[in-house]
Structure 1
């Protein structure tokens, strides 16, 4: 459970998120994160005959370490509290359904970097204050006064295991996107940043259906990877790099070079009349996965 609160007239209003109820949902077109917020409303003692009508709540989902806004939603409430038995305190709950597009999930994957996902809910409650004027047939008649806004926040953490094994699959993400590769490499330095750049471009164009361009960027990533491994092997880097590279035996380097050349041959578009010039999604995905696998392997080898 994660807990938070906000105040109305000096009275604490409790917030709680049950992490076990978090779920990712994919409807065939869009992905959503469902979050259930429990709210314990208490009527302030100094509000007399007034009533507080909680009309709706605006919820913003943020990545807590950066403050980056991920998604927003407006949810109705319809809860009223006032100074009468059974209405002084009300327990209620709201399901927030946050849209989680590809860019949002990619950003969270990079920020969390193999760790937990740290999130925050910023809440703005729209509250209509009403004043009791008289009774008709034992029912209170209210006069409307004004709408006010109260703000609250609650922080919560999704464990890595829950995020990877439950939330991401629920969001509809294919399995190969769950493979995580380090974003930096101590031995390859700037070259590795270029490799990551090319791979990210490949992923971007794959998702856009530009399979020829995707494959071209896969080739660039693998070419750069192979060239820089060769430089290390041939002694153009530091002694510490040799110690690191000794973990990657010659057979692995030969295998990487062979895979690179083979994939480059497959990915070279023929220009002869009547021959294939465009790649299918399946072909691009296969080359993409080979590239991802090689980067994942080398990414784990660092001094």
Structure 2
């Protein structure tokens, strides 16, 4: 449970709490919003020496270690009058942060498994006291609002990867499928590369779920059986690449893909062992998945040309 206190003249007048496991996404791709269910506890307990009227809340969200805010929370009606003799009062407030594709992408770029957020909260409170002006005319009146204070605190919290990919990303509309079209190949070639195709399907599922390290790991699994075929493409052999431009592009692409996937050896020692999280961002995984898919499709195409027509 993440907690932070609001203090006024060294006196704690309110506390905010958040269960990071309850953070959720909402609105889908049309109006994506990150929702934080906050709980406020107001308890001046007489130490504030005066009644307080809490009447405004503003929240800014940023990534821990980030240089700028991600979003401002939409305004919520917020009215709580707490007297010095009152018992503790609770208020549940769902704070919503409007997002868009670029903001979600920024969060995903910084995310390494779990997500570390920082919220700056500004709570406006009105203070009561005796009338200050025209005291004689107001002598028959009770205490009135004499001042407004903005009380500030910072709430740091961590959303676990499991919560992020199950409760947040789907609600934000992530998981939309991007279709890439490749030339059709023979069924015989597809059967020969069934292991690679299945690994690519798993890679895509992991990518949609936000498990980017696992997605890259499955790309490596897809490429492992194709070492000889990749060597042919990289060497630019006639049976693999027939034109000069294809030879250059193919060689460069394979060099890049082999180098990138080679880095996964430092994450685990075999393609069947799951990697630790936090090595590849969303953009990394998207690029690697796209290139791996195209390379596997090209290998399938070259194999299809070797299959005798029936």
Q: What runs of 5+ residues in structure 2 fail to find an aligned partner?
A: 132-140, 178-206, 217-244, 270-286, 297-310
Q: Deviations over 1:130-171 (max 9, x none)?
A: 2268xxxxxx94412011110011111111111112210111
Tell me the equivalent position of 2:7. 7
Q: 1:71 to 1:296 in 2, by over 3 A?
A: farther
Contact 1:60 1:71 in 2 (8 A): yes
Q: 1:224 to 1:82 in 2, by over 3 A?
A: farther
Which TM-score applies when normalising by structure 1?
0.56
Contact 1:59 1:124 in 2 (8 A): yes
Q: Deviations over 1:19-67 (max 9, x none)?
A: 232111125621001101111112164543x311110110011111214
Please state how far the C-alpha of 1:96 moved relative to its aligned partner: 0.2
Q: The residue matched to 1:107 in structure 2 has which SS?
A: helix
Using the alignment, how far apart are the partners of 1:232 and 1:109 within structure 2?
Answer: 22
Quick check: which one's strand share is greater?
Answer: 1
Q: What runs of 5+ residues in structure 1 fail to find an aligned partner?
A: 134-139, 186-219, 248-287, 298-303
Using the alignment, how far apart are the partners of 2:250 and 2:155 within structure 1?
Answer: 44
Q: 1:20 to 1:230 in 2, by over 3 A?
A: closer
Using the alignment, how far apart are the partners of 1:71 and 1:57 within structure 2?
Answer: 15
Q: The residue matched to 1:164 in structure 2 has which SS?
A: helix
Q: Deviations over 1:229-272 (max 9, x none)?
A: 25999xxx9xx99x99xx9xxxxxxxxxxxxxxxxxxxxxxxxx
* Root mean square deviation, CA, Å: 3.8
Q: 1:155 to 1:232 in 2, by over 3 A?
A: closer
| 1:1-303 matches, cutoff 5 A | 1-12=1-12, 13-26=14-27, 29-43=30-44, 45-48=46-49, 50-73=50-73, 74-84=75-85, 87-113=86-112, 115-131=113-129, 141-176=142-177, 178=208, 226-229=251-254, 291=290, 293-294=292-293
Q: 1:155 to 1:295 in 2, by over 3 A?
A: farther
Using the alignment, how far apart are the partners of 2:22 and 2:165 within structure 1?
Answer: 15
Tell me the equivalent position of 2:135. none
Tell me the equivalent position of 2:274. none
